[in-house]
């Protein structure tokens, strides 16, 4: 199934999407949310109402996060190599022998058609990173690779928009340069793992204003998804509802010559074959305003 969070008349509902038919079956507002379903709640689609996709607004699939978004860096070797010598003195001496992990704040998450916030006073280098996201659906610690998929609820599309100058500025760690509010599109829905025939036959793509800047197959990953789950969970419990980004392929703006960074008015389209498409506009936003936007 492809499960989404859809908004109708200002209220969010769980929806089962059939993109080929252009329809979505909407559950009543009293039904479990997609966050609940990921954590094990059952739903009965027979009680839903089927409408066309253009009759609803598709929003970010998940709203309730256990913690920061869990992320994998340098998981395509071509991406690792394209930035060699361009990391402002932060190059590792050799290719990593284990997955590289970092996190980004959950307030980065926006929906598949929401605006990407842009504030030039925060950063001058806003970069795009198309990725496959794994959604954990079963708690587990020290999960062996051969059992990793038992813990995956589904997959979706993400764009790990990054602020490269902030990423370099704070001691070589990436948290700050990855955690600016309202900058990470996620969605458009979650495709359940049983519907993904081969997770290593997916095409990851990012276009900027109609130009393809990233395009690669998941068969090119440096560390397979099972390895990521096994190493991330080694002694550390993964919880249902956790989101894991699996890395971006080559073509990022920071590594290009000349460099390409996002600017207001840009349209960023991020897609993964079989998982859907995100289409977001970059919009100037005052992220320094206090306390505006803070609940």
The one-digit pLDDT tens for each residue of the chain (295 residues) are: 999 999 999 999 999 999 999 999 999 989 999 999 999 999 988 889 999 999 999 999 999 999 999 999 999 999 989 978 777 767 887 899 999 999 999 999 999 999 999 999 999 999 999 999 999 999 999 999 999 999 999 999 999 999 999 988 888 789 999 999 999 999 999 999 999 999 999 999 999 999 999 999 999 999 999 999 999 999 999 999 999 999 999 999 999 999 999 999 999 999 999 999 999 999 999 999 887 665 5
Backbone angles phi, psi at 79, to 5 degrees: -70, -40
Closest CA to 71 of 95, 96, 105: 105
Cis upstream peptide for 47 (omega within 30°): no
Beta bridge partners of 176: none
E strands, the chain, where? 2-8, 11-18, 23-26, 49-52, 57-59, 69-73, 100-104, 109-110, 116-118, 126-127, 130-136, 152-159, 162-163, 184-192, 203-208, 211-217, 243-245, 267-272, 276-284
What pLDDT, on the 0 to 100 scale, is given for residue 172? 77
What pLDDT, on the 0 to 100 scale, is given for residue 173? 82
Task: Count Cβ atoms below 10 Å from residue 285 Cβ, excluding itself.
Answer: 20
Q: What is the pTM of this model?
A: 0.96
What pLDDT, on the 0 to 100 scale, is given for residue 292? 63
What pLDDT, on the 0 to 100 scale, is given for residue 89? 67
Cβ density class 218-241: b for 16+ within 10 Å, e for less? bebbbbbbbbbbbbbbeeeebbbb
Estimate to the nearest angstrom the gap between the alpha carbon of 58 and the chain centroid.
15
What pLDDT, on the 0 to 100 scale, is given for residue 293? 60
What pLDDT, on the 0 to 100 scale, is given for residue 183? 98
Tokens of 243: 């989101």
What pLDDT, on the 0 to 100 scale, is given for residue 200? 98
230 by DSSP, 3-state: which? helix
């Amino acid at each position: 199934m492809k499960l989404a969070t859809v908004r109708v008349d200002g209220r969010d509902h769980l929806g089962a999407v059939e993109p080929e038919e252009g329809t979505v079956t909407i559950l009543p507002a009293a039904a479990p949310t997609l966050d609940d379903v990921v954590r094990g709640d059952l739903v009965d689609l027979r009680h839903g109402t089927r409408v066309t996709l253009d009759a609803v607004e598709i929003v970010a699939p998940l709203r309730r996060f256990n913690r920061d978004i869990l992320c994998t860096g340098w998981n395509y070797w071509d991406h690792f190599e394209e930035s060699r010598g361009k990391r402002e003195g932060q190059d590792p001496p050799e290719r990593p022998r284990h997955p590289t992990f970092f996190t980004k704040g959950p307030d980065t998450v926006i929906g598949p058609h929401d605006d990407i916030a842009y504030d030039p006073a925060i950063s001058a280098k806003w970069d795009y990173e198309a990725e496959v996201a794994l959604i954990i659906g079963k708690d587990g610690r020290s999960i062996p690779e051969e059992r990793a998929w038992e813990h995956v609820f589904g997959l979706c599309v993400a764009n790990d928009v990054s602020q490269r100058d902030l990423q370099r500025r704070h001691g070589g760690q990436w948290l700050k340069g990855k955690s600016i509010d309202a900058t990470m599109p996620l969605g458009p829905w979650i495709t359940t793992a049983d519907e993904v025939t081969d997770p290593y036959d997916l095409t990851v793509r990012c276009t900027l204003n109609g130009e393809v800047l990233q395009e690669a197959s998941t068969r090119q990953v440096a560390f397979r998804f099972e390895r990521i789950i096994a190493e991330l969970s080694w002694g550390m419990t993964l919880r249902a509802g956790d989101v894991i980004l699996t890395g971006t392929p080559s073509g990022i703006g920071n590594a290009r010559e000349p460099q390409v960074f996002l600017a207001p008015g840009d349209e960023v389209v991020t897609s993964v074959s079989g998982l859907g498409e995100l289409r977001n506009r970059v919009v100037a936003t005052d992220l320094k305003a206090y306390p505006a936007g803070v609940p």
